[in-house]
Amino acid sequence: MTAWQDVEQAEPKFARRVWALLDAHRHKTIATVRADGSPRISGIEVAFEDGELVFGSMPNARKGADLRRDPRFALHSATVDPVEGAEARWPGEAKISGRAIAAGPTTQGQDGDRFHADIAEVVHTHLNGEATMLVVEWWTPAHGLRKIERE
């Protein structure tokens, strides 16, 4: 299993940028797989606790049922548009994909399902310093941090 602390240890600066994007807004979106194989997008809140990325699902929620049946997920930070004239200061967006590992009932609030992320990939998409190129940086446990730039 690859926990958030593994990303932090391997690439601390990259992990801080991704964490800041995920922490900047309370609500994110998560993609799960429905029983018929089609995708489902849901709102979600996440937390970083003891080196783990954790999230939950309310009682009887479809996203929890999806994750119990097929643990694959893709998490996306809130997205904001670059400010015109200050595009180079746009922080970008973050994505994490992997498998949700059931961790018992939620520990706060209503009863529900709690999950830990087994991380397969972490992505930070942003602009270069001149705001002329799209920069995609991604980390995987097998290949470490990689980067491409696109016009």
Domain that holds residue 29: 4-150
- The residues with which 94 forms a beta bridge, in sequence order, are 124
Average pLDDT rounded to a whole number, residues 11-16: 98
Domain count, the chain: 1
Q: Which DSSP helix (H) or strand (E) runs through 6?
A: helix 4-10
Q: What is the pLDDT of residues 23-63, one digit of tens each?
A: 999 999 999 999 999 999 999 999 999 999 999 998 889 99
Whether residue 136 contacts residue 7, with contact meaning beta carbons closer than 8 Å, is answered with no
Distance between CA atoms of residues 147 and 138, nearest Å: 6
Q: Tell me, what's the pLDDT at 34?
A: 97
Q: Tell me, what's the pLDDT at 15?
A: 98
Average pLDDT rounded to a whole number, residues 125-151: 97
CATH number at residue 16: 2.30.110.10
Distance between CA atoms of residues 96 and 106, nearest Å: 21
**Sign of torsion over alpha carbons 22, 134, 123, 147:** negative
Distance between CA atoms of residues 67 and 76, nearest Å: 16
Q: Enter the tokens of residue 41.
A: 């997008």
User: How many helices (H) does the chain have, and how many strands (E)?
Assistant: 3, 9
| Amino acid at site 64 | G
pTM of the model: 0.92
Q: What is the pLDDT of residues 85-122, one digit of tens each?
A: 999 999 999 999 999 999 876 656 567 889 999 999 99
